Amino acid sequence: EESRIATPIGTTLDRFIKNKQENFKYATGELSQLLRDIALASKVVNREVSKAGLVDIIGTLEAQNSGGEQQKKLDVLANIRFSRALKKGGEACALVSEENDSYEELNRDGKYIIAIDPLDGSSNIDVNVSVGTIFSIYRRKTEVGSAVQEIDVLQKGTEQVAAGYVLYGASTMLVYTTGHGVNGFTYEQSLGEYFLSNPDIRIPEDGTIYSINEGLSKEFFPPVTAYVDWCKEQSFNARYVGSLVADFHRNLLKGGIYIYPATTKKADGKLRLVYECNPLAFITEQAGGKATDGNKRIMEIEPVALHQRSPLFVGSLNLVEKAMDERLAQK
């Protein structure tokens, strides 16, 4: 009966979350609400990103009667959208964001911590290249109702209860995990809904794509150079958008490895552990792949600062294991 009345176009994100919640004994509905808040904010951000090229035109049109918000940069705007949606939703007690030096307290009665990069790769917006949002959800350690503490916001990746990303690309997609596999949804603009398009994503165990900024090769340590050479000996394809979510998403679906290594100039690489590496590591592991800093599993790194960086080798199981054989992070 239920399946017969289901919309012919497929399963919406809301329906999917609701069904999952019913299947998942301990879910209280709060995590589901959080995911819905994030999805809603992403729709607003999607609208703004898709109008990026029109900003100057619309900006001058609206300059007379706006409060100036149109003039804000998109990454700042995206941060505001997510922060507001989470504050209104009430389930989150704190937000860790790439955009803020410290964490933002949201709602003391909330049980969850959100870590987010609201708009990653924003330097790509000016040239109409895909950008993304990356997020991670933790349960707070301190008592509900009390002030948020460092131990709440600095948790290891293994403590994540959910993680995901939104890719604002040719189509906009939301991909997430709650620790029971990975599912992908594609946004249908005219209906304003995400629909399940990639159920139970598994990353191929092998792949033929390597993604690394080879322009920095003079700064690579020898094991990284050796690994890149190995990729070339295999005649792998080099693919690098320079937008983490886009590079990650392609490799997740097609099989491959994404590397942002430690370099002679950047001892810990470039990417941030808490809201870039950890969420993507969780998704990758849930899809059957692997994520390491070269020596250690990403999700087991003890974070000591909100914005700390980590080298990242993430993707297909065999490709990442090969990278670890070579002990790439050794300096």
Task: Write down the least CB distance from residue 129 to Mg ion, Å.
Answer: 14
Stretch that binds ligand AHM, among 65-73, 103-111, 117-125, 171-179 (CB under 6 A): 117-125
> Closer to Mg ion at the Cβ: 37 or 120?
120
174 is in an annotated binding site: no
Stretch that binds ligand AHM, among 80-88, 158-166, 183-191, 241-249 (CB under 6 A): 241-249
> Closer to Mg ion at the Cβ: 89 or 118?
118
Task: Write down the least CB distance from residue 278 to ligand AHM, Å.
Answer: 15
How many residues can be counted in the chain?
331
Interaction of residue 309 with ligand AHM, rule CB under 6 A: no
Please identify which residue in 21, 42, 83, 122 interacts with ligand AHM, judged by CB under 6 A: 122
Interaction of residue 244 with ligand AHM, rule CB under 6 A: yes
Interaction of residue 263 with ligand AHM, rule CB under 6 A: no
Pick out residues in 17-36 that bind ligand AHM (CB under 6 A): none
213 is in an annotated binding site: yes
Task: Write down the least CB distance from residue 74 to Mg ion, Å.
Answer: 13
Task: Write down the least CB distance from residue 18 to Mg ion, Å.
Answer: 31
Interaction of residue 12 with ligand AHM, rule CB under 6 A: no
> Closer to ligand AHM at the Cβ: 152 or 276?
276
3-class DSSP string for the chain:
CHHHHCCCCCCEHHHHHHHHHHHCCCCCCHHHHHHHHHHHHHHHHHHHHHCHHHHHHHHHHHCCCCCCHHHCCHHHHHHHHHHHHHHHHCCEEEEEECCCCCCEECCCCCCEEEEEEEEECHHHHHHCCCEEEEEEEEECCCCCCCCCCHHHHCCCHHHEEEEEEEEECCCEEEEEECCCCEEEEEEECCCCEEEEEECCCCCCCCCCEEECCHHHHHHECHHHHHHHHHHHHCCCEECCCCCHHHHHHHHHHHCCEEEECCECCCCCCCCEHHHHHHHHHHHHHHCCCEEECCCCEHHHCCCCCCCCECCEEEECHHHHHHHHHCCCCCC
> Closer to ligand AHM at the Cβ: 72 or 141?
72
Rounded CA Rg of the chain: 20
Q: Which residues lie near Mg ion (CB under 5 A)?
A: 117, 120
65 is in an annotated binding site: no
101 is in an annotated binding site: no
Interaction of residue 284 with ligand AHM, rule CB under 6 A: no
Stretch that binds ligand AHM, among 1-9, 175-183, 236-244, 277-285 (CB under 6 A): 236-244
The residues binding ligand AHM (CB under 6 A) are 120-123, 213, 242-244, 270
Annotated binding residues, written as ranges, equal 98, 117, 119-123, 213, 240, 270, 276
